[in-house]
């Protein structure tokens, strides 16, 4: 050992050894074993130091091999001076005025890193060449060389073995976006489906298909290395409202987003759905920089659905009331059938109101943002404050957001640094019920409300009162009253604070720790007035007005501590490893109170409700998670990459008798390993003379888990019950102590390629994933007293393909055009569920989950037209079985349902798969055109081959009641011989012509101009204003689709079983914003 | 200024919108597949040259506006040929013409497929028509179920004249014989009816409302109220009107059963009413299909001898037969009186503690019955009082069913009329376990009475075993 040390200390001996045994592997290994050499950076500047003659000669020989080159600008084709060329930890230089450089490389295997301001950093492997020519592309170019934020730290995308995608956010040009919806079309493999058009509603994210049926499918969010809880705990008391924590992050605070599609096993049992890593922006330079931006915009109300006008509606109403059995005298006596202008009620029933106009509006948005960054070599800071007011397209809805963020970085000493990220966002939102809320959702009401009515009270002379009219004679609420008088608001704030330290113990060893605290509170209040709104029926009373209040709270403490080791051995072996532990303590609580029948509509808070009708409830959730992880990264010659991750997780949610994993003490720990390998083929010498700049092959295999199995599901719990005034506790189901995490096993193979001087780059991934131990409800024998138990009895798999292509199509000094394309496709398949299949119900749809088929198939009847004549119906002889066992035959004007089993009885045995909500493929097309001082960015998104169940159309074409219907209902069957596809109007629809059938399934494919953003960099410079940019951005400007609803994009619920079901949430809308950003 | 900026912003938005949404996706879905459904009934009728005359009449009466409006209608459109015979007097009288045209239009859509049984459809003029398969009243539908946007029309080969209803015909038709008509018209009276009354105060003593005089009654006819309202267009009636001779003969025939002292008006008024009330039946029975016997509202058989029909008058709500013979049989009109034992009106002493209402099974008839038993009441000549109504001036056989199953000894009881002490049937033995109807005597009434009191009387002892009363029912059978 002492001998070795001696050799080390002797520069001469070392260099001699190098000369003799250059490129000899045994030496490499030897040096690798011995350790420390490669830290000895000897920068080129040292060459100028005078030295002894003999040594100078030796040193020249020792300094590796000479490399020459010329760096040009790919656009102008002219040489560029001042470009840094370096070999990491070895040598560096700057190009001269003709773009030329010379530098010493350790060998002709080395990789040069070429970087310069406004240019895209490029890594150029020498591959045996002594002279290189590199034409640099500009910084905005999407490149394989860019740095990406990985769970283990920042690294070059080129060296990553996992399948990842990064999006560098330009929040200034997309002020109206929120982080989850933003990723739509930009990341292959990620299917982001916006929930609705509600402000801040965001998107449901599915990364590479479905991984779970009953646990979450949402990727894990990490913001600045802290887990970001993006769940909405507990249901909203506002119908179908979703509180989206991601709406709290201002896009202008985000620097980049990395999507980790696989190899997320480092997050253990939270990694099954991949991870989305958000890095917020921090000071990039020390000089104080102030940016102020102001935006204003307009949201456009959607095109109205073609519902019937007053004249058509009254004819429909006459028909449907006749089918109810009302005599013509009774119908003629109804107030709205009166056509005598002298009748006092004549005027109130002779309008032609476009109710959708009463509910939708064009609205304004405003957004202001101020960011200050700067600092010195001790500390840098970034401080931003923002305010946004976004009025909804539904009248009286809006979103106000105040956000503040402070990011600071501190250099306490050379080895000891720290950071603090503090953010506080306050959201205040005025809402309305949406989706399936027949009495209170204004959009739905505006579709079904009788158009011959007016929203204000009208006297016999036709004079309109300022008072809004009450519930009409048909029992339907007044949408204008709901808009004006219903209160539903959500006040939401979240504090996310994190701070951390990093200590460089030695050159190779580093210790880090990060603490994070989340405090999150949602407060909701509703008031549904009695006037203008149809009454609700409670178990033991009629609810005239309704009041509600809810508070949801989440408190999380998080710590991530790790020790890292990083070393490059002899320039050939690069090794990094880390060992860490993550801890998370969570405490969530939900409390709500619902009241009914306050004395007047002026008493709107919940304590004014009648005491006997008050409902109080809530829940407490506490769960803890510990995640021990190791990571090792190894690279050989910067060409071959290996990575290994493993996590060992325990959670308070796991059952004590979990089958898998290992047990330490009483506690089951999940083991989640993954390995990845990459081969940078383009760095091989035999690739020296090809046009391929980068070619990398990747493969990974990983295990990860899903711990979203319920906080207490594995335990025996009891619930309070009241029976005839006696209080008692009863068991809540049967505990399953063997309940454990779901296991996701993922395999990925990928290719990254760039050629034509990296003007064209592409990444292609083929993957498969398999979920085992998947949560399913298993049926229990009746004797147990319970119906189901949650077990890990299912399994499911996905296979998919995704591709990302970027091409710099035009590249000249004045005009640059870059186009990008993302494409993803997956096939989901259930391997096994208990009993081989089960069905679920959502919005009157039946969803089939069956072995061998995708998880969520629309399962219903096949409609094959309408019986034109009684003779035709009699010939078909189809019938239904009534509840009392008798039969009713289909007659003329009824739908001819396919009788699949041939028994002439249309019942549940005649259902089949009638649609699949999973798209054949999804993706996006981006374009970026830079011309002089203008920059145009466009994003098209598309989804192809997904079937959609149009619940709204089902309601608006069911022809079973007094609700207004679509214009298509004018086509309804009326008399023998009429050939049509719309059945007759019948009160209550006794033959269930409107049952869940392929009549309501539509093609949900679309191509949408998702975003267009035009920027203009103003050509002035003054002492006060450094720069100014003007933005005009359009969102959802057009959508090509055959889908007949308001919009083909919606996701009412994150569950797999609700996908592709349009429940009539507030639609996604079109908007345009204009803004200016000023740099001071 | 601010607004202008937003307008400016809106231009690209709207332009893009026009390109994209283009509402095309709805066009196919909403396209009307049957061209007929785009036109109103009036548009279709006026487009049809064979219905031009009817279209003209529609225009003339203003009904064209009605059947072009947004409600649903059924129009029975007579062809030009069918309208050729339309009386010019109707055409020239606006009121009559409106009545006539309105007789062809109904609210709501009525298709022939629904008329598998006769549908009685109200027309806009207040009359009703019967739609059965492809006939409406006596017109035949030559082109049925022509759909339109706001309903349906049927082309018919005969016009539908607006006829008088039964009562109107009775009042106005000169063919109606005088006597019966005069009697029926004499039945008008004012009847208390507070439906449309104006209340002016409250009686401080009784708390009853005080109505403004003249508003608290309706002028109506006894026949409408007690038999059939022949003005009701929604229903159909068959009315028999007797020729004067036949009417008089019928009165004479029935007067023995309705003897009344002259001091009370004699037998004529009551006999007339009893003859008249059974001269109408509900339902339309045209002469071709009329059965030989109809039932009146009071279940009296009305023999219909077709040879006795003098004249037949069709009305909008039925048919009137003028007959020269009624021939209603007295045994059909004068009916037995049956009163249930438990339906007594009062008792001679309060012995409710000794009364039993029993459910029993009659082994002879095979039916369940309920009777009354008074046992152990300890009162001599204890009796139950019953009231019989509308008792004719004739002789009745009196019988009872009395089940003595509560003791092995027989006992006696009697039936008395007017006074419990009167002899009546005399005491008759109630034998053990006898389910038979037992004739206990005869009674004859000399005059028709609105009501007669009848008593079931126990023996003149206080011994429980000999003075029970038991009765299922008592029957008075007229002797002819």
Q: What is the pLDDT of residues B357-378, one digit of tens each?
A: 999 999 999 999 999 999 999 9
pLDDT given at position B266: 87
pLDDT single digits (tens) A1009-1043: 999 999 999 987 787 888 899 999 999 999 999 99
How far does chain B reach from its first CA to its final CA, in angstroms?
A: 107
Q: Over the stretch A823-871, which tens digit does the pLDDT of each residue have? A: 999 999 999 999 999 999 999 999 999 999 999 999 999 999 999 999 9
**Do the Cβ atoms of A754 and A142 come closer than 8 Å?**
no
pLDDT given at position A35: 37
The pLDDT value given to residue B34: 84
Q: pLDDT value at position B29? A: 87
Q: Which of B72, B107, B112 to mutate to test the interface with A (most CBs of A within 10 A)?
A: B72
Interface check for A1014 against chain B (CB to CB < 8 A): the answer is no
Q: pLDDT at position A63, please?
A: 67
User: Are B111 and A974 in contact (CB < 8 Å)?
Assistant: yes
Q: φ and ψ at A241, to 5 degrees?
A: -90, 145
Nearest CB partner across the interface for A300, out of B13, B111, B112: B13
Question: pLDDT at residue A673 above 80?
Answer: yes
Tell whether A1043 lies on the interface with B, counting CB pairs under 8 A. yes
| Residue with more model confidence, A43 or B48 | B48
| Contact across the interface for B69 and A1040, Cβ inside 8 Å | no
Taking CB atoms and an 8 Å limit, are B113 and A1041 in contact across chains?
no
Q: What percent of chain A has pLDDT over 70?
A: 94
Length of chain B counted residue by residue: 480
Average pLDDT over residues B257-269: 89
**Residue A213 confidence (pLDDT) above 60:** yes
Helix axes A11-20, A2-9, angle to 10 degrees: 90
Residue A20 pLDDT:
41
Taking CA atoms, B35 is separated from A152, A308, A893, in Å, by 70, 18, 18
Q: What's the Cα-to-Cα distance from A749 to each of A209, A210, A406, A644, B479, rounded to whole Å? A: 17, 19, 40, 16, 112
SS3 A443: helix
pLDDT in tens, A791-805: 999 999 999 999 999
pLDDT in tens, A927-954: 999 999 999 999 999 999 999 999 999 9
Write down the domain spans for chain B: 35-156, 166-330, 337-478
Q: Do B107 and A332 lie within an 8 Å CB cutoff?
A: yes
Mean per-residue pLDDT for B276-299?
92
The pLDDT, as a whole number, for residue A50 is 46
Q: Give the 3-state secondary structure of residue A203.
A: strand
A339–chain B nearest CA distance, Å? 9
Q: What's the pLDDT tens digit per position in B420-457?
A: 999 888 899 999 999 999 999 999 999 999 999 999 99
Residue A21 has pLDDT above 50, yes or no: no
Residue with the two structure tokens 């003490």: A665
Count of beta carbons in the 10 Å neighbourhood of residue A392: 25
Lowest mean pLDDT among A124-128, A495-499, A1044-1048, B175-179: A124-128
| Predicted confidence (pLDDT) at residue A43 exceeds the cutoff of 70 | no
- Answer whether residue A25 shows pLDDT above 80: no
CB environment A207-225: b (16+ within 10 A), e (fewer): bbbbbbbbbbbbbbbbbbb
| Interface predicted TM-score of the whole assembly (ipTM), two decimals | 0.80
Closest CA in chain A for residue B127: A329
Cβ–Cβ below 8 Å for B145 and A977: yes
Number of A to B CB contacts under 8 A, please give it: 128
Q: What tokens does A762 get?
A: 């592409």
Q: What class, spelled out in words, does domain B337-478 have in CATH? A: mainly beta
For an interface test with B, give the residue of A314, A315, A874, A1036 to mutate (most B CBs within 10 A): A315
Q: Are B444 and B358 in contact, with CB atoms under 8 Å apart?
A: no
Predicted confidence (pLDDT) at residue A4 exceeds the cutoff of 90 = no
| In chain A, residues 838-897 whose CB comes closer than 8 Å to chain B | 870, 892
Q: Is B188 on the interface with A (CB under 8 A)?
A: no
Question: Of all residues in chain A, what percent carry a pLDDT higher than 90?
Answer: 74
pLDDT of residue B340: 94
Encoded tokens for A860: 């219903």
Q: How far is CA A596 from CA A487, A609, A940, in A?
A: 14, 5, 47
Superfamily of domain B35-156: FAS1 domain (2.30.180.10)
Phi, then psi, of B101 in degrees rounded to 5: -70, -40
DSSP symbols for B52-84: HHHHHHHHHHTHHHHTTSSS-EEEEEE-HHHHT
Beta sheet of B309-315, edge-to-edge order: B280-282, B237-242, B318-323, B309-315
DSSP string, B120-162: EEEBTTS-EEEEETTEETTEEEEEEEEEETTEEEEEESS----
Residue-wise pLDDT tens digits, B468-480: 999 999 999 999 8
What's the pLDDT band for A126 if we cut at 50, 70, 90?
Answer: confident
DSSP for A631-665 reads: EEEEEETTTEEEEEEEEEEEETTS-TT-SSSEEET
pLDDT tens-digit profile of A891-909?
999 999 999 999 999 999 9
Which residue in the set A310, A892, A974 is minimally distant from B109, CB to CB? A974
Instruction: Return the structure tokens found at A971.
Output: 């086509």
Helix ranges (DSSP H) in A812-936: 870-876
Does the pLDDT value for residue A18 go beyond 60? no
Whole-angstrom distance, CA of residue A137 vs CA of residue A758: 8
Chain B: closest CA distance from residue A395 (Å): 18
pLDDT value of residue A29: 37
Q: Which are the contacts of B468, defined by CB distance < 8 A and separation ≥ 6?
A: B373, B374, B375, B376, B404, B406, B407, B411, B413, B458
Is the pLDDT confidence value at A216 over 90?
yes
Which residues, numbered 31 to 70 in chain B, qualify as contacts with chain A under a Cβ-Cβ cut-off of 8 Å?
A: 31-34, 37, 66, 69-70
Instruction: Provide the shortest C-alpha distance from residue B21 to chain A (in Å).
Output: 7
B163, B103 in Cβ contact below 8 A?
no
Q: Which of B13, B30, B108 sits opposite A322 (nearest CB)?
A: B108
Grade residue A62 by pLDDT with cuts at 50, 70 and 90: low
Percent of chain B clearing pLDDT 70 (strictly above): 95
* CATH fold for the domain made of B166-330: FAS1 domain (2.30.180)
Whole-number Å distance between alpha carbons of B146 and A974: 10
Check residue A57 and give its pLDDT: 43
Q: Which pLDDT tens digit goes with each residue over A266-307?
A: 999 999 999 999 999 888 888 899 999 999 999 999 999 999
CA pair distance A465, A1, nearest whole angstrom: 101
| pLDDT tens-digit readout, A632-647 | 999 998 899 999 999 9
Whether the CB of A1030 is below 8 Å from some CB of chain B: the reply is: no
Token pair of A788, please?
């189901």
Angle in degrees, CA A980, A984, A985, rounded to 5: 140
The helix/strand count (H/E) of chain B reads as 14, 29
B51-61 tens-digit pLDDT: 999 999 999 99
The mean pLDDT of chain A is 90
CA pair distance B79, B91, nearest whole angstrom: 16
- Long-range Cβ contacts of A32-36 (<8 Å, 24+ apart): A32/A569, A32/A570, A32/A572, A32/A573, A34/A4, A34/A8, A35/A567, A35/A569, A36/A8
Q: What is the pTM of this model?
A: 0.86
CA neighbor of A843 nearest in space, from A950, A924, A763: A950
Could you report the per-residue pLDDT of A451-489, keeping only the tens digit for each? 999 999 999 888 999 999 999 999 999 999 999 999 999
Distance CA A570, CA A573 (A): 7
Measured between alpha carbons, how far is B247 from A198 in angstroms, rounded to an integer? 85
B9/A1074 Cβ within 8 A: yes
Query: Hey, are the CB atoms on B72 and A1009 less than 8 Å from each other?
Result: no
Residue A577, classified by CB atoms within 10 Å of its CB into exposed (0-12), middle (13-18) or buried (19+), is middle
Q: What is the mean pLDDT of residues A607-622?
A: 92
For residue B51, give how far its alpha carbon lies from the nearest alpha carbon of chain A (Å). 21
Q: Measuring CA to CA, which residue among B46, B47, B71, B72 is closest to residue B60? A: B46
- pLDDT band at residue B322 under the 50/70/90 scheme: very high
CA–CA gap between residue A966 and residue A948 (Å, rounded):
18
Task: Tell me whether B17 touches chain A (CB under 8 Å).
Answer: yes
Please report, for residues A572, A874, A908, A964, A1064, the alpha-carbon distance to residue A997 in angstroms, rounded to integers and kept in the order given: 64, 22, 12, 21, 18
Asked, colleague to colleague, whether B166-330 and B337-478 share their fold, the answer is no
Q: Backbone dihedral region of A347: left (phi > 0), alpha (psi from -120 to 50 degrees) or beta?
A: alpha
pLDDT bin (cut points 50, 70, 90) of residue B85 is: confident
Disruptive mutation site among A1038, A1048, A1075 for chain B (greatest number of B CBs within 10 Å): A1038
CB A295 within 8 A of CB A367: yes
Q: What is the pLDDT of residue B480?
A: 87
Nearest Cα to A651, choosing from A743, A586, A744? A586
Q: Is the pLDDT of residue A212 over 70?
A: yes
**From CA A143, how far away is CA A653, in angstroms rounded?**
42
At B213 the pLDDT is 84
Residue B470, CA distances (Å) to A122, B355, B398 in order: 121, 10, 16
CB-closest option in A327, A971, A1072 to B33? A971
Q: Does A45 touch chain B (CB under 8 A)?
A: no
Where b means 16+ CB within 10 Å and e means fewer, A1028-1052 reads bbbbbbbbbbbbbbebbbbbbbbbb
Report how far residue A1051's alpha carbon sits from residue A1046's, in angstroms, rounded to the nearest whole number.
Answer: 13
Nearest-Cα distance to chain B for A1010, in Å, is: 12
């Amino acid at each position: 050992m002492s001998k070795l040390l001696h050799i080390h200390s002797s520069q001469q001996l070392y260099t001699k050894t190098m000369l003799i045994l250059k490129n000899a592997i045994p030496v490499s290994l030897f040096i690798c074993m011995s350790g420390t050499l490669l830290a000895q950076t000897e920068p080129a500047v040292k060459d100028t130091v005078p030295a002894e003659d003999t040594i100078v000669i030796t040193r020249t020989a020792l300094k590796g091999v000479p490399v020459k080159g010329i760096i040009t600008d790919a656009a102008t084709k002219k040489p560029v001076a001042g470009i840094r060329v370096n070999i990491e930890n070895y040598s560096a230089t700057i190009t001269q005025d003709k773009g030329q450089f010379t530098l010493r490389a350790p060998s002709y295997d080395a990789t040069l890193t070429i970087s310069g301001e406004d240019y895209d950093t490029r890594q150029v492997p020498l591959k045996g060449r002594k002279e290189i020519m590199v034409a640099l592309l500009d910084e905005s170019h999407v490149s394989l060389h860019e740095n990406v934020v990985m769970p283990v730290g920042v690294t070059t995308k080129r060296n990553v073995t996992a399948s990842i995608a990064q999006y560098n956010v330009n929040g200034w040009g997309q002020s109206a976006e929120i982080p989850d919806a933003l990723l739509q079309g930009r990341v292959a493999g990620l299917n982001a489906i916006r929930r609705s058009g509600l402000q801040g509603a965001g998107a449901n994210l599915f990364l590479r298909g479905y991984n779970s049926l009953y646990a979450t499918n949402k990727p894990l969010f990490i913001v600045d290395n802290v887990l970001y809880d993006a769940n909405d705990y507990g249901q909203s008391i506002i119908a179908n409202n979703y509180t989206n924590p991601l709406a709290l992050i201002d896009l202008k605070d985000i620097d980049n987003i990395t999507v980790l599609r696989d190899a997320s096993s480092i997050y253990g049992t939270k990694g099954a759905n991949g991870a989305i890593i958000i890095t917020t922006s921090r000071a990039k330079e020390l000089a104080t920089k102030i940016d102020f931006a102001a935006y204003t915009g307009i949201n456009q109300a959607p095109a109205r659905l073609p519902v019937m006008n007053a004249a058509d509606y009254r004819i429909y109403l006459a028909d449907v009331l006749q089918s109810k059995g009302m005599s013509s005298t009774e119908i003629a006596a109804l107030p709205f059938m009166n056509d005598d202008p002298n009748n006092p009620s004549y005027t109130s029933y002779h309008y032609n109101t476009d109710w959708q106009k009463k509910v939708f509006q064009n609205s304004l948005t405003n957004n202001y943002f101020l960011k200050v960054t700067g600092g010195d070599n001790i500390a840098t800071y970034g401080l931003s404050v923002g305010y946004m007011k976004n009025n909804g397209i539904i009248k009286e809805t809006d979103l106000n957001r105040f956000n503040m963020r402070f990011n600071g970085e501190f250099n306490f000493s050379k080895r000891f640094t720290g950071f603090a990220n503090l953010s506080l966002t306050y959201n205040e939102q005025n809402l309305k019920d949406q989706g399936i809320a027949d009495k209170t959702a204004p959009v739905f009401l505006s579709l079904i409300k009788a158009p011959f009515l007016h929203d204000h009270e009208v006297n016999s002379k036709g004079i309109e009162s300022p008072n809004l009219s009450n519930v009409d004679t048909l029992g339907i609420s007044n949408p204008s009253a709901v808009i004006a008088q219903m209160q539903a608001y959500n006040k939401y704030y979240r504090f996310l604070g994190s701070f951390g330290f990093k200590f460089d113990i030695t050159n190779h060893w580093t210790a880090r720790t990060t603490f994070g605290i989340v405090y999150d509170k949602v407060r909701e209040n509703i008031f549904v007035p009695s006037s203008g709104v149809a009454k609700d029926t409670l178990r033991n009373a009629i609810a005239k007005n309704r009041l509600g209040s809810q508070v949801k709270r989440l408190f999380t403490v998080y710590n991530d501590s790790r020790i890292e080791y990083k070393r490059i051995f002899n320039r050939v072996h690069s090794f990094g490893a880390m060992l860490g532990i993550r801890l998370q303590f969570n405490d969530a609580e939900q409390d709500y109170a619902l009241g009914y029948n306050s004395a007047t509509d002026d008493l709107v808070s919940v304590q004014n409700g009648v005491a006997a009708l008050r409902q109080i409830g809530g829940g407490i959730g506490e769960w803890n998670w510990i995640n021990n992880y190791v990571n090792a990264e190894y690279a050989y010659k910067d060409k071959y990459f290996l990575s290994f991750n493993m996590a060992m997780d325990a959670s308070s949610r796991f059952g004590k008798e979990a089958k898998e994993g290992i047990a330490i003490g009483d506690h089951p720990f999940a083991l989640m390993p993954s390995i990845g390998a990459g081969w940078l083929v383009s760095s091989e010498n035999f690739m020296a003379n090809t046009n391929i700049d980068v070619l990398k092959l990747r493969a990974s295999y990983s295990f990860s888990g899903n711990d979203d199995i319920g906080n207490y599901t594995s335990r025996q719990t009891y619930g309070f019950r009241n029976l005839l005034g006696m209080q008692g506790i009863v068991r809540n189901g049967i505990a399953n102590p063997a309940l454990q995490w779901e296991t996701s096993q993922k395999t990925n193979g990928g290719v990254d390629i760039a050629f034509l001087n990296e003007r064209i780059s592409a990444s292609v991934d083929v993957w498969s994933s398999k979920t085992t131990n998947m949560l399913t409800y298993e049926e229990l024998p009746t004797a147990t007293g319970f119906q189901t138990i949650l077990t890990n009895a299912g399994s499911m798999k996905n296979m998919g393909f995704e591709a990302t292509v970027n091409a710099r199509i035009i590249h000249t000094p004045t005009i640059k055009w870059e186009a990008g394309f993302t494409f993803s496709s997956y096939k989901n398949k259930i391997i096994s569920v208990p009993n081989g299949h089960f069905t679920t119900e959502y919005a009157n749809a039946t969803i089939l989950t069956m072995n061998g088929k995708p998880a969520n198939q629309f399962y219903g009847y096949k409609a094959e037209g309408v019986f034109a004549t009684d003779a035709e119906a009699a010939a078909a002889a189809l019938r239904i079985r009534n509840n009392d066992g008798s039969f009713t035959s289909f007659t003329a004007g009824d739908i001819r349902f396919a009788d699949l089993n041939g028994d002439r009885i249309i019942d549940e045995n005649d259902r089949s798969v009638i649609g699949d909500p999973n798209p054949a493929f999804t993706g996006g097309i981006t374009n970026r055109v830079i011309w002089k001082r203008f920059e145009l960015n466009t994003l098209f998104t598309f989804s192809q081959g997904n079937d959609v169940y149009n619940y709204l159309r089902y309601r608006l074409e069911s022809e079973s009641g007094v609700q207004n219907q679509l214009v298509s209902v004018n086509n309804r069957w009326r008399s023998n011989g009429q050939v049509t596809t719309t059945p007759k109007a019948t009160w209550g629809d006794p033959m269930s012509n409107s049952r869940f059938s392929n009549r309501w399934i539509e093609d949900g494919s679309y191509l949408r101009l998702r975003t267009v953003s035009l920027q203009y960099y103003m050509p002035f410079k003054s002492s006060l204003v450094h720069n100014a940019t003007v933005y005009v951005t359009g969102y959802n400007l057009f959508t090509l689709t055959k889908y007949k609803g308001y919009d083909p994009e919606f996701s009412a619920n994150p569950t797999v079983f609700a996908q592709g079901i349009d429940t009539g949430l507030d639609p996604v809308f079109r908007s345009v914003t204009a803004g200016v950003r000023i740099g001071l | 200024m601010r607004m202008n900026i937003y307008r400016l912003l809106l231009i690209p938005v709207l332009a893009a919108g026009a390109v994209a949404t283009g509402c095309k996706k709805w066009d196919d879905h909403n396209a009307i597949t049957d061209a007929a459904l785009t036109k109103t009934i009036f548009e279709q009728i006026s487009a049809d040259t064979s219905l031009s005359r009817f279209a003209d009449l529609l225009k003339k009466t203003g009904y064209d506006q009605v059947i072009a409006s947004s409600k649903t209608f059924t129009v029975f459109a007579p062809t030009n040929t069918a309208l050729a015979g339309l009386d010019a007097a109707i055409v020239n009288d606006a009121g009559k013409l409106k009545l006539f045209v309105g007789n062809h239009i109904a609210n709501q859509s009525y298709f022939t497929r629904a008329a598998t049984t006769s549908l009685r459809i109200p027309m806009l003029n207040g009359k009703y028509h019967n739609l059965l398969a492809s006939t409406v009243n006596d017109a035949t539908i030559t082109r049925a179920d022509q759909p339109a946007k706001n309903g349906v029309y049927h082309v018919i080969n005969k016009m539908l004249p607006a006829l008088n209803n039964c009562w109107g015909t009775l009042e106005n038709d000169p063919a109606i014989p005088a006597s019966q008509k005069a009697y029926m018209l004499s039945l008008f009276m004012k009847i208390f009816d507070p439906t449309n009354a104006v209340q002016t105060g409250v009686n401080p003593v009784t708390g009853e409302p005080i109505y403004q005089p003249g508003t608290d009654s309706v002028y109506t006819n006894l026949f409408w109220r007690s038999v059939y309202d022949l003005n009701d267009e929604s229903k159909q009636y068959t009315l028999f009107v007797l020729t004067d001779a036949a009417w008089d003969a019928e009165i004479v025939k029935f007067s023995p059963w309705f003897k009344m002292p002259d001091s009370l008006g004699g037998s004529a008024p009551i006999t007339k009413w009893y003859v008249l009330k059974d001269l109408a039946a509900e339902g339309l029975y045209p002469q071709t299909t009329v059965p030989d016997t109809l039932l009146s509202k009071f279940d009296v058989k009305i023999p219909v001898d077709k040879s006795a029909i003098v004249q037949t008058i069709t009305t909008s709500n039925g048919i009137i037969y003028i007959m020269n013979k009624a021939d209603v049989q007295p045994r059909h009109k004068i009916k037995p009186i049956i009163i249930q034992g438990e339906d007594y009106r009062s008792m001679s002493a309060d012995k409710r503690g000794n009364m039993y209402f029993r459910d029993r099974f009659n082994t002879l008839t095979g039916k369940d019955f309920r009777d009354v038993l008074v046992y152990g009441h300890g009162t001599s000549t204890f009796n139950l009082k019953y009231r019989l109504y509308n008792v004719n001036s004739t002789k009745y056989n009196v019988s009872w069913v009395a089940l003595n199953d509560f003791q092995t000894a027989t006992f006696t009881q009697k039936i008395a009329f007017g006074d419990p002490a009167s002899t009546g049937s005399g005491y008759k033995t109630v034998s053990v376990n006898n389910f038979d109807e037992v004739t206990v005597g005869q009674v004859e009434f000399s005059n028709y009475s609105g009501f007669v009191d009848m008593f079931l009387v126990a023996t003149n002892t206080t011994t429980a075993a000999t003075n029970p009363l038991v009765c299922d029912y008592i029957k008075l059978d007229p002797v002819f």
